[in-house]
């Protein structure tokens, strides 16, 4: 099993560690220290050796940070983690509602004029520190870039993972790394780009790694030069097998050589301040070279998948869809007994995915919420929270797989036994929002911010809504959350052909149930419409093909177009998935895909 159900938090050890840290700060005449959850690669997952926040506080959420002062230890977490942080941390830590309370405002309130706060400049981005420095300057609070304050105290810190990197061949990417390097540098006569995002380096060099769970990224750093050559800073042992793949345009160097390499660069040196560690910006500021702030050049090209990547995504989704169909058929047979638990469901689903023989990892911890647990948007079942799947309740399952040819992410909500009217009404509204996005055909230039309302209209009409974006970008055998594309009120990037997105509206009734329906979709150039004008338009092609729970669809709420969409989707699903399943699963699929 990839997924585990234990809670790795150690809240009881927090107070002693906190005391040791404070003693260390006092020795250095520091008023406090920032302890972020992120590592130097600014991703969603961190390696066990980088779980500094969890080590200190016990809090294991995927976002947040602590600020340790002498008389208060604030732990800043967002709405998802308000309850969890109280369970996981000792009372010595004071939860702070973030981002409602800004770090700068909190520090200004807590600290005296002229206070001094330590931070590890490798763990914060240049933009973050620039912003914070400016805000704290009014009270002359000093942000001190210092070596990490946790690491010397963490005597049993795990070793850094040592699994080797591996080539991700052109049969999956559709473009060699030589072509990518040439494309990115074609219009730039001189200078270089500092690449610090593992996804970007993985994409650019067609490599993958195993430095963190779930996302097959290599935690390394690189410099892309305007002549198309790359200096890759990665442990020799991890890249030992890659010399043939990387070729002579990519020079591997030890990570320790990175800072010296920065000093040798001619300008302009381009950094993306939203992801580049403050430490790098500082090193560069000390040197001679001109530094330019610019977007990471890999992000947008990576988001526009090649036809080969799209074909891979289609294949991965059919494989994953067949596993989901076997799982849902099994679930429908087993759940009515009332004997299943959330953990058993998660285990079964992972087994069905493993049965494909091609599962490299799950793409994130499966969210499996029965009844009221479904309303906790980021619920992750543990042995402590596990509960039975009970007839008459909704079950929400959000999961995905990492395959060499693609990353999947799917949510299905099913009823165990007979649904209530309110279940059917809410499910149908969520589904209609999902369909509205799926069917959208739109002008070039439109971004996710312009389409988000489509997913909410049927809920808004009934005085309902959901408190998360409608969709996020998805990588190609890379991170399941990938920018810059998205579908939310804040997603400003214009959608472009080849971008893969999730389409996942939901509805959550706290203490009662949760509903979310999620397909992945890929942005395509829209085919011409007979009689239409000659305008460049885009549309979405649905990648995910797994039946929707017909027991939860209120047909009377549907427009003709919505009904036709569902029937066509089910017909396609039967055609595409049918040949891959047999026996009970096939019978289930045929029934599930019948016209409404």
Binding site for a second copy (CB under 8 A): 422, 439-443, 445-446, 449-454, 456-457, 460-465, 489, 526, 528-529, 531-533, 535, 537, 559-561
* Closest of 354, 304, 300 to residue 327, by C-alpha: 354
| In the complex, least distance from residue 508 CB atom to a second copy, rounded to whole angstroms | 10
* Cβ 57 vs Cβ 89: under 8 Å: yes
| In the complex, least distance from residue 494 CB atom to a second copy, rounded to whole angstroms | 10
* Closest of 335, 312, 324, 317 to residue 366, by C-alpha: 324
Alpha-carbon distance 398 to 413, whole Å? 8
Match 């219009």 to its residue by tokens.
Answer: 187
| In the complex, least distance from residue 78 CB atom to a second copy, rounded to whole angstroms | 17
CA atoms within 13 A of residue 284's CA, in its CB half-sphere: 24
Phi, psi dihedral angles at 108 (to 5 degrees): -65, -35
| In the complex, least distance from residue 397 CB atom to a second copy, rounded to whole angstroms | 24
Which tokens sit at 414?
A: 């099913």
Q: Which is nearer to a second copy, 126 or 521 (CB)?
A: 521
Report DSSP letters for 145-177, one per residue.
E-S-SSTTT-TTPPPPP-PPPEE--HHHHSS-H
Match 């109280």 to its residue by tokens.
Answer: 86
| In the complex, least distance from residue 227 CB atom to a second copy, rounded to whole angstroms | 27
Classify residue 419 by its DSSP letter.
Answer: P
| In the complex, least distance from residue 317 CB atom to a second copy, rounded to whole angstroms | 25
* Cβ 142 vs Cβ 129: under 8 Å: no
Q: Which is nearer to a second copy, 34 or 437 (CB)?
A: 437
| In the complex, least distance from residue 446 CB atom to a second copy, rounded to whole angstroms | 7
| In the complex, least distance from residue 538 CB atom to a second copy, rounded to whole angstroms | 10
CA distance readout (Å), 311 to 257, 318, 333: 39, 11, 33
Q: Which is nearer to a second copy, 75 or 499 (CB)?
A: 499
Residues 6 or more apart whose CB falls under 8 angstroms from that of 240 comprise 164
Q: Which is nearer to a second copy, 26 or 462 (CB)?
A: 462
Which tokens sit at 386?
A: 């596990």
Three-state secondary structure readout of 219-266: CCEEEEECCCCEEEECCHHHHHHHHHHHCCCEEEECHHHHHHHHHCCC
Alpha-carbon distance 66 to 77, whole Å? 9
Q: Which is nearer to a second copy, 9 or 491 (CB)?
A: 491
Alpha-carbon distance 551 to 569, whole Å? 16
| In the complex, least distance from residue 350 CB atom to a second copy, rounded to whole angstroms | 34
Neighbours of 524 (CB within 10 A): 15
Alpha-carbon distance 173 to 247, whole Å? 17
Alpha-carbon distance 578 to 60, whole Å? 41
Q: Which is nearer to a second copy, 352 or 569 (CB)?
A: 569
| In the complex, least distance from residue 57 CB atom to a second copy, rounded to whole angstroms | 32
Q: Which is nearer to a second copy, 82 or 535 (CB)?
A: 535
| In the complex, least distance from residue 489 CB atom to a second copy, rounded to whole angstroms | 6
Torsion of Cα atoms, 459 then 461 then 462 then 464, to 10°: 40
Alpha-carbon distance 340 to 386, whole Å? 10
| In the complex, least distance from residue 464 CB atom to a second copy, rounded to whole angstroms | 6
* Cβ 361 vs Cβ 502: under 8 Å: no
Q: Which is nearer to a second copy, 177 or 450 (CB)?
A: 450
Q: Which is nearer to a second copy, 152 or 445 (CB)?
A: 445
Classify residue 441 by its DSSP letter.
Answer: E
Q: Which is nearer to a second copy, 280 or 437 (CB)?
A: 437
| In the complex, least distance from residue 472 CB atom to a second copy, rounded to whole angstroms | 18
| In the complex, least distance from residue 465 CB atom to a second copy, rounded to whole angstroms | 6
Q: Which is nearer to a second copy, 160 or 490 (CB)?
A: 490
| In the complex, least distance from residue 103 CB atom to a second copy, rounded to whole angstroms | 23
* Cβ 67 vs Cβ 32: under 8 Å: yes
Q: Which is nearer to a second copy, 112 or 530 (CB)?
A: 530
Residues 6 or more apart whose CB falls under 8 angstroms from that of 573 comprise 321, 545, 546, 547, 589, 593
Q: Which is nearer to a second copy, 71 or 534 (CB)?
A: 534
Phi, psi dihedral angles at 506 (to 5 degrees): -155, 175
Q: Which is nearer to a second copy, 427 or 588 (CB)?
A: 427
Alpha-carbon distance 51 to 376, whole Å? 24
Alpha-carbon distance 214 to 363, whole Å? 5
Q: Which is nearer to a second copy, 113 or 533 (CB)?
A: 533
Which tokens sit at 451?
A: 């389409």
């Amino acid at each position: 099993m990839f997924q585990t159900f234990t809670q790795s938090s150690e809240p009881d050890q927090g107070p002693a560690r906190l005391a040791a840290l404070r003693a260390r700060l006092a020795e250095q005449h520091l008023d406090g220290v920032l302890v972020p959850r992120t590592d130097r690669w600014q991703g969603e997952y961190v390696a066990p050796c980088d779980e500094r926040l969890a080590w200190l506080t016990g809090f294991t959420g995927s976002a947040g940070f602590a600020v340790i002062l002498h008389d208060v230890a604030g732990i800043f977490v967002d709405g998802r983690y308000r309850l969890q942080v109280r369970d996981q941390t000792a009372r010595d830590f004071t939860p702070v509602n973030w981002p409602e309370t800004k770090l700068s405002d909190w520090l200004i309130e807590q600290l005296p004029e002229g206070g001094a706060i330590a931070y590890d400049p490798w763990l914060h981005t240049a933009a973050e520190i620039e912003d914070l420095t400016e805000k704290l300057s009014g009270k002359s609070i000093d942000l001190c870039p210092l070596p990490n304050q946790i690491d010397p105290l963490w005597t049993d810190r795990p070793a850094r993972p040592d699994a080797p990197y591996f080539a991700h061949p052109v049969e999956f990417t559709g473009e060699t790394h030589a072509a990518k390097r040439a494309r990115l540098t074609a219009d730039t006569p001189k200078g270089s780009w500092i690449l610090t995002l593992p996804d970007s380096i993985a994409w650019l060099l067609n490599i993958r790694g195993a430095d963190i769970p779930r996302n097959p990224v290599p935690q390394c750093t690189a410099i892309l030069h305007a002549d198309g050559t790359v200096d890759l800073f990665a442990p020799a042992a991890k890249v030992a097998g890659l010399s043939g793949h990387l070729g002579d345009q990519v020079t591997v160097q030890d990570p320790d050589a990175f800072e010296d390499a920065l000093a040798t660069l001619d300008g302009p040196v381009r950094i993306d301040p939203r992801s580049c560690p403050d430490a790098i910006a500082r090193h560069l500021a000390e040197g001679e070279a001109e530094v330019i702030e610019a977007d990471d050049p890999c992000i947008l090209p990576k988001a526009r998948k090649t036809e080969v990547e799209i074909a891979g995504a289609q294949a991965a989704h059919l494989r994953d869809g067949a596993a989901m169909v076997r799982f849902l058929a099994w679930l429908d047979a087993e759940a009515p007994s009332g004997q299943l638990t959330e953990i058993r469901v998660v285990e079964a689903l992972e087994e069905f995915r493993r049965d494909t023989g091609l599962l490299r990892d799950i793409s994130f911890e499966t969210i499996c919420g029965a009844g009221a647990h479904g309303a906790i948007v980021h619920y992750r079942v543990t042995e402590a929270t596990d509960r039975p799947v009970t007839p008459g309740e909704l079950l929400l399952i959000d999961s995905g797989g990492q395959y060499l040819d693609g990353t999947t992410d799917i949510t299905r909500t099913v009823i165990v036994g007979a649904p209530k009217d309110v279940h059917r009404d809410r499910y149908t509204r969520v589904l209609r929002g999902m369909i509205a996005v799926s069917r959208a055909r739109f002008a070039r230039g439109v971004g996710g911010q312009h389409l988000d309302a489509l997913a909410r209209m049927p809920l808004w009409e009934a005085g309902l809504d959901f408190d998360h974006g409608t969709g996020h970008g998805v990588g190609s055998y890379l991170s399941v959350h990938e920018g810059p594309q998205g579908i939310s009120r804040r997603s400003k990037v214009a959608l472009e052909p080849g971008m893969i997105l999730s389409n996942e509206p939901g509805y959550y009734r706290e203490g009662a149930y949760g509903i979310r329906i999620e397909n992945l979709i890929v942005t395509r150039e829209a085919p011409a419409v007979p009689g239409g004008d000659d305008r460049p338009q885009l549309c979405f092609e649905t990648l995910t093909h797994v039946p929707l729970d017909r027991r939860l669809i209120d047909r009377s709420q549907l427009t003709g177009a919505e009904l036709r969409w569902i029937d066509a989707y089910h017909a396609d699903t039967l055609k595409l998935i049918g040949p891959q399943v047999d026996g009970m699963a096939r019978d289930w699929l045929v029934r599930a895909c019948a016209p409404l």
